[in-house]
Amino acid sequence: EPEVTQTPSHQVTQMGQEVILRCVPISNHLYFYWYRQILGQKVEFLVSFYNNEISEKSEIFDDQFSVERPDGSNFTLKIRSTKLEDSAMYFCASSALAGVDEQFFGPGTRLTVL
C-alpha cells in the first residue's frame, strides 16, 4: 500500500540553525501539506501546496518557514533560524484531491531545538 515517507525520523539542532525536513508524498497525489504537533497539544496546520505554489498557510507559517518541491517526488519544509519553540513533531501529508478527501500522513519528524 502506498505511503508517505519522511526523513529524518529525529532531528536535533541548535537554536538559530537551519533545518530541512524531507517528505516523499504518495506518487499520484497532487496536494501536499505540513502540520506540526507540539508535545501534548493538537495537530496544527502549517501550509498546503498545490501546483508548485502555496495554496494556504497558517499564522504559524511565518517568514522563517518555506516549502519546496525540488523534483517530482520530494516535498521539503525549511526552517531558516530555529527557535526553541519550534521543537515539535512535524507531519507531512498528501491527498489526491483538495477538500472532500482524506489526507495521508507520514510518520513524522521529531525536531528538537536545543
Partner 1 sequence: SQKIEQNSEALNIQEGKTATLTCNYTNYSPAYLQWYRQDPGRGPVFLLLIRENEKEKRKERLKVTFDTTLKQSLFHITASQPADSATYLCALASNSGYALNFGKGTSLLVTP
One symbol per residue from 4 to 43: x for binding partner 1 (CB under 8 A), - otherwise; what is it?
x--------------------------x-x-x-----xxx
With beta carbons less than 8 A apart as the criterion, state whether 39 and 91 touch.
Answer: no
Size of the site for partner 1 (CB under 8 A): 28
Q: Is 50 a binder of partner 1 (CB under 8 A)?
A: yes
Q: Is 45 a binder of partner 1 (CB under 8 A)?
A: yes
Q: Is 104 a binder of partner 1 (CB under 8 A)?
A: yes
How far does CA 84 lie from the centroid of its chain?
Answer: 18
Question: What residues contact residue 85 under an 8 Å CB cut-off, 6+ apart?
Answer: 113
For cell 518541491, what's the residue? 69
Residue placing its CB nearer to partner 1 in the complex, 18 or 101: 101
Q: Is 58 a binder of partner 1 (CB under 8 A)?
A: yes
For cell 517568514, what's the residue? 63
